[in-house]
């Protein structure tokens, strides 16, 4: 389930599935990315975000 949530960039589902949801929310809140549909590690280069946009036929 977590891998599906990650692939969908479903942050709420990821928080709910985390071993420690409160800590996961705190980490996310402490360093929000510039794009809501990505994480702080990859930013614009997020592979999940890029593949999603590609499948939707959007320009990268």
* Predicted confidence (pLDDT) at residue 9 exceeds the cutoff of 90: no
Structure tokens belonging to residue 39: 């994480």
Look-up of token digits 């479903």:
10
Instruction: Look at the block and give the residue holding tokens 């990821």.
Output: 14
pLDDT of residue 13: 97
- What does pTM read for this prediction? 0.68
pLDDT band per the 50, 70, 90 thresholds, residue 24: very high
Q: Are 7 and 48 in contact (CB under 8 A)?
A: yes
Average pLDDT over residues 9-17: 94
Residues 6+ apart with CB under 8 A from 53: 59, 60
Q: What is the three-class DSSP state of 37?
A: coil
Rounded Cα–Cα distance for residues 10 and 35 (Å)? 14
Average of pLDDT values for 26-43?
A: 77
For the chain, domain boundaries:
2-55
Does the structure show a pLDDT above 90 at 48? Answer: no
């Amino acid at each position: 389930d977590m891998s599906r949530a990650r692939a969908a960039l479903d942050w709420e589902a990821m928080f709910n599935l985390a071993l420690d949801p409160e800590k996961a929310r705190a980490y996310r809140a402490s360093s929000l990315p510039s794009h809501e549909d990505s994480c702080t590690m990859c930013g614009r280069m997020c592979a999940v975000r890029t593949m999603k946009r590609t499948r939707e036929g959007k320009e990268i």
